[in-house]
Structures are given as C-alpha cells and as structure tokens.
Amino acid sequence: MELRIGTDIYRRVEDWHGTPDPRYRWIGGPVFVQPAPDPNPVAPAMVEGARSVGIPTFQNQNGLMMEGDGGASIMDLRVRDGKRQPVFRSYAFAYMDRPNLTVLCHALVTRLVMSGKQANGVEIVHDGKVQRSPPERRSYYRWARSTRQRC
C-alpha cells in the first residue's frame, strides 16, 4: 500500500522524456525528466567499472535499482533546451501569485508543528535565527509576509 501511494504521487508529478517504461516512468506531469542525451565518456566507463567488480548496473536509477540494494547507473537529467529545470520552477513557480503561498529564500524548515495529524505551523531557520510560525492561520500569514524577502 505504501509503495502504491508513493507511485501514485510520482505518476502525477513526472514527465518522462526517455524510452517508455510504463511500470516505472510516467508522462504528462509538470516535472520534466530525461536520460542524459550525451553523457561524458567517463560516466558509462564508471558504470562499466562498477559492473566489472560485481556491482549491479541499471539503465537508470529509477525502477529496479530503487527496489533492490542499489547499484550504478547514469543519472537522469532535469535539463530542457540546455537549461536546468529545478523542481520548484516546474511544480510550484506557477502558483507564486497565490496569497496562501509564501516562499522564503535561504530558509530551512526544521520542523512541522503538528496538532494530531494536521500541520498547523512550521519552524524554520532564517538569517541564522530559529523562527516558529504562530498557530493561528491569520497570524501565520502576517508572520510569513513580514518574514518574506526577494530571492
């Protein structure tokens, strides 16, 4: 069940641009992923070197490699038209104008503040200080807006 939940989420996210593999790869999501189109010659040599000492090798790191004890493969890339495609830009950037979304650059979330199974706040480290959002949603919004900075 747990694997199926993760697979369902991944299925909605990934937009695979390689050899079709319906068991492990999906298309149509916002996150562009492709195999390395022209890997440095060192990369396949390293994978072959791993194979020569008994390390399992795989066509890519998703799928069988994730289900087993690991191995070696050439990494997939998140590069489109020569430009790196951060997951944030692919998945969240389109929602930046929403009033209920706050992005703090150079902030590290260290804890979700939970009330039972519901998250009702966050604890972050920002500018070297630990900050905790207020539990009330309206106060949190004011706190986040006052903490926000341009990236």
| Main-chain phi, psi angles of 140, to 5 degrees | -60, -40
Question: pLDDT at position 45, please?
Answer: 98
* Amino acid identity at 45: A
Residue 54 CA to residue 101 CA, distance in Å, equals 48
pLDDT per residue rounded down to tens, the chain (151 residues) = 444 555 677 778 889 999 888 888 889 988 899 999 889 999 999 999 999 999 999 988 877 787 788 899 999 999 988 888 888 888 778 888 887 777 778 888 898 888 888 878 888 898 899 988 766 554 444 555 555 545 5
18: left (phi over 0), alpha (psi -120 to 50) or beta: beta
Question: ∠ CA(7), CA(79), CA(66), 5° rounding?
Answer: 30
Question: pLDDT at position 1, please?
Answer: 43
Q: What is the DSSP string of 32-96?
A: EEEE-SS--THHHHHHHHHHHTT--B-SSSSTHHHHTT--B-PPEE-EETTEE--HHHHHTGGGT
Residue 33's Cα: distance from chain center in Å?
A: 11
Question: pLDDT at position 4, please?
Answer: 53
Token look-up 């593999």 returns 21
pTM of the model: 0.62
